[in-house]
Structure 1
Amino acid sequence: MITILIGSIVLCLLFAPFAHAEDLPVFDKLWNYDKPDETEKAFREILPQAEASGNLAYLLQLKTQIARTLGLQREFSQAHDLLDEVEKALTTDLSGDRAGDRAGDLSVAWIRYFLERGRLLNSSGNPEASRSFFLQAWELGRRTGNDFYTVDAAHMMAIVSPSEHQMTWNKKALEIAEASEDKRARGWLGSLYNNMGWTYNDLGEYEKALVLFEKAWEFRKDQADAGGARIAKWCVAHALRKMGRIDRALEMQRELEEEILAEGADPDGFVYEEIAECLYETGRPEEAAPYYRKAYQLLKEIHWVAQGEPERLERLKQRGG
């Protein structure tokens, strides 16, 4: 039944009026990674238009991103089912000139399929299985000159690789991003500086981490990315605390607290946590306690913290009193 259904979809695409991608909505601009449920809704609203367009490459790429929204909502089974559908459509033999014209270049759809299958596996707790998909995305991206997705694949390889290989993959991603003429590929630089900084941070090499966090901060400011700049500033302050420069670290975290309040943004549990740590480490546990409490109340609501770092939450709870 599934094979018949997919075959019917493909036939409909072959004989539907064809729409070029530039005539269709740029769905990647609809992404809000903080609200995947809203993004899923936005993507599904344009799905009928994509299905009627006859543009298979566009349709399949859109479906990979719907799968990504499902993964971010931890609807892993639904996401994998949708990617199964994408895979079957990609591997269906579309022979003949008319089919070739209608299918378009499917290389990007393949790359995005590999990326999202890998992300799903990693997010659901199977990073080992995800590597082969990220590696396939990397290899196809390099072969076809798709720098943006090649950098994405390399940065994901860094995330899921053993610690001794992480920096190698980060450097590969950085090399491509810095040399690329693709503006979107260069847009990865802030994330790459951040990721490399955290790799050094986890190794206890805080001075090297600081240099990269500062690069990320400057990049985000140059891009007028207020949210990204705030996160990067937090990372700089974190590294300073780890290096023992606690007064400056506390000053920067206090600035962030004031900026968030002035902008009317949601309170940030990570900022509260760092303020608490700075105060505690300078012998002010009573002053730190309310910040530990506020950090605990906010961070326990973040799924990856609650699931992955229960000891961290317990520590915040205990020190908050």
Structure 2
Amino acid sequence: MQMSDLKYFAPYLVDSLIMSKSISRLIPVLALFWCVRSSSQQHLICKNIEDVFPEDGIAETQPRHSGVQGPAEIFGPKGERGNRAPPVQMDYDLIDDIIAVKVTNSFSVINSTIAELSRNVSTLLSEWERLKPTIERKDAAEVSTAPATTDATTAATPEDECRVRVGLLHSGKCFTLPYLSSSVGIKYDEAVAECAKQGTLMAEIHDRVQQTALYNFALTKMPAGTSKIAIWFGMEYQHSTSSLLYRSGMEKHSSQFQWYPGYPSTSSPRKYIIMNVRNDGSSNFGLWNYLKARPLSGVMCEKET
């Protein structure tokens, strides 16, 4: 092979070595094939080594020229899918150990708190046992020095008893309204049972003065938002004599009482006495003789004082 041939093939050999980044192999080859001592002009490889290989990289020997972009890369066929990695192995024993340690620590804190509370309770009980005799002696001394009371001063008066019942004391009797409703009515027999449950009887009206007092008492007990109510009483109307019949068998003429306009009714089933009470300023109020099975707002009861 002639020197001219070596010069022809040398560039391709250099390019290959540069592409493979085998710089250590490049220098001897260049020195062998390109250094021509007799030539008056030095070739690239015979230049100073610092000019060929600067510190920041390999020097370019040819100016760059823009050209037409080459064809895109053509990839080969896709290879077979590799094997799946083995699943992660969970160390459940380690997890259980961690949980057990945390639970044990929590119970330790709880047990310490309970122990402290127990000590506090024991301290309080000990203090109570220490102070108990002193407290008992003090209570006994206060009882022994308290003024004596008599039955006369402690016995409840009729007014007190009636006040407890939230009733009206009138004519030696305590009148109450144990049942009064603006929505759910009560029939005559239910009214009798309601008074008996209170240890009382259905109230009876004996004159106009008492009727007015009981009427005003009922006004004070009317449910909120209600303009009129009707209340059962214990008398019965006697059609044959136009009078009111009492439990004692006594009768009083109907003219001794104030009646609702149009009453007493002449219908024979209507014999049970009720009082109509209104707070709307109407003058239409008073007694009715009514039917036993009809439900009314409430019942008035009485008890001897």
**Which structure: larger Rg?**
2
Higher relative contact order (CA 8 A, sep 6+): 2
Q: Which has the higher strand share?
A: 2
